[in-house]
Amino acid sequence: MLAPVVNASAWPDQAGLPELTSANELVIINHIRVCSAIRDIAIISSAGFIVMNLKDSRLSARSFFRQIGLTLTVLPALALSAMVQAQDGYSVSGTAYQINTTKVVYRELFTPLDGNREITVNYAKPDGSVFATKTLRFTGEPTQPEFEFKDQRTNERRAAKFEAGRVFLSFDQQGLKQEKEILETANLVIDAGRDALIQQHWDALLEGKRIRFQQAWPERLEVAGLQIREIKADRSPLHNASNPTTWRYFVVEPSHKVSAIFATPVHLAYEPDGRYLMRSQGRAPVANDRGRNQDVRVEYEYW
């Protein structure tokens, strides 16, 4: 168990703060509270507490670490945010709504990143009962986490695992397991790794560039060519007057125009100062109770 959360706003910026003993020592973000551009950060190192008040600051967490000489591994925003609360329970949640309504379909509940670099995502019904679970394992490239997913309603399982530098996709439904080996992994993105891709190419996306990649689809035992690009706020279904005006909007769609006609795009909204995913809309990772695909809007909260 890590030390308790410290509210950075209660500490002076310079007085009585210990220094890092090494630029390479392990630093754990213990608490990041995000609300638009407002942020408090408390850091625990082997030297003790290092607290800086970033409230109302334009300085992102990534820039902050650069300034104190540390390298921060680029993880998906949800994975990075899941590291920040070391208490028991969840650190990130997403509430999925029916498109254009306020009816809750399910919730995504993320545990903190543990010592094995794993995050568990529980999918729960509105009454709180968990019906599906996914385990993400960030031991390699941040865009390529291994994962295992199980839907308790149908006993459906899907996974992506590495063996000897190759990816194996598997899909198992009612005991009929299928598997496929993916030889080319250089441009491959797996599951939540798509967010890490956005983090890595953030500046290029804001310059109007399209980022193309191959997305792994275990349920189809194939990869699909996709692209991410920024769009204007008024072109996104996630935009509304209550959103902060600083949010940036992106769309994920097939990289080939013909394929795009038949596909459902994924829309994303990010808070730019910390590059946090705040909203998403598109095909849900879980089917409805009748086993059919469903489109949802997910709103994320971090604490």
Spatial CB neighbours of 220, under 8 Å, sequence gap ≥ 6: 171
Domain membership flag for residue 62: yes
- Tell me, yes or no, whether 81 lies in a domain: no
pLDDT at 80 over 50: no
Higher pLDDT, 256 or 221: 221
Nearest-angstrom CA–CA distance, 192 and 212: 16
- Domain-located, residue 263: yes
Host H or E run for residue 119: strand 118-124
Whether residue 154 contacts residue 162, with contact meaning beta carbons closer than 8 Å, is answered with no
Distance CA 52, CA 207 (A): 31
Question: Is residue 200 in a domain?
Answer: yes
Specify if 194 maps to a domain: yes
- What whole-number distance in Å separates Cα of residue 275 and Cα of residue 157? 31
Mean pLDDT of 64-79: 37
Percentage of the chain modeled with pLDDT above 70: 69
Judge residue 176's burial from the number of C-beta atoms within 10 Å of its C-beta, 0-12 exposed, 13-18 middle, 19 or more buried: exposed
Both 129 and 43 in a single domain?
no
Question: Under a CB-based contact definition with an 8 Å cutoff, are residues 253 and 267 in contact?
Answer: no
Indicate the helix (H) or strand (E) that contains 167: strand 166-173
Question: Span 278-299, mean pLDDT?
Answer: 96
Distance of CA 147 to the CA centre of its chain: 13
On whether residue 38 sits in a domain, the answer given is yes
Q: Between 171 and 37, whose confidence is greater? A: 171
Please check whether residues 55 and 158 belong to one and the same domain. Answer: no
Residues 43, 169: one domain?
no
Whether 48 has a pLDDT exceeding 80, the answer reads no
Q: How many domains does the chain have?
A: 2
Is the domain of 97 the same as that of 218?
A: yes
Domain end among 16, 43, 72: 72
Model confidence band, residue 303 (pLDDT cutoffs 50, 70, 90): confident
In the prediction, which pLDDT does 15 show?
Answer: 40
Has residue 76 got a pLDDT over 50? no
Determine the pLDDT at residue 221: 94
| pLDDT tens per residue, range 267-286 | 999 999 999 999 999 999 99
Shared domain for 188 and 53, answered yes or no, is no
Structure confidence at residue 191 as a pLDDT band (50, 70, 90): very high
**Residue pair 183/207 in contact by the 8 Å Cβ criterion:** no
Instruction: Kindly state whether residue 85 falls inside one of the protein's structural domains.
Output: no
Do 68 and 97 belong together in one domain? Answer: no
Do 235 and 265 fall into the same domain?
A: yes
Domain containing residue 243:
92-302
Asked if 50 and 105 sit in the same domain, the reply is: no
Residue 46 lies in a domain: yes
Residue type, 70: L
The last residue of one of the domains, among 18, 44, 72, is 72
Of 16, 40, 72, at which residue does a domain stop? 72
Q: From CA 258, how far away is CA 34, in angstroms rounded?
A: 39
Rounded to the nearest 5 degrees, what angle is found at the Cα of 40, between the Cα atoms of 34 and 43?
115
42 CB-near residues (< 8 Å, 6+ apart) = 5, 6, 7, 8, 30, 31, 49, 51
Per the CB < 8 A criterion, the answer to whether 83 and 28 are in contact is yes
Are 35 and 155 in the same domain? Answer: no
126 and 68 within one domain? no
In this structure, the answer to whether residues 128 and 25 fall within a common structural domain is: no
Mean pLDDT of the chain: 76
Say if residue 173 is in the same domain as residue 258. Answer: yes
pTM over 0.75: no
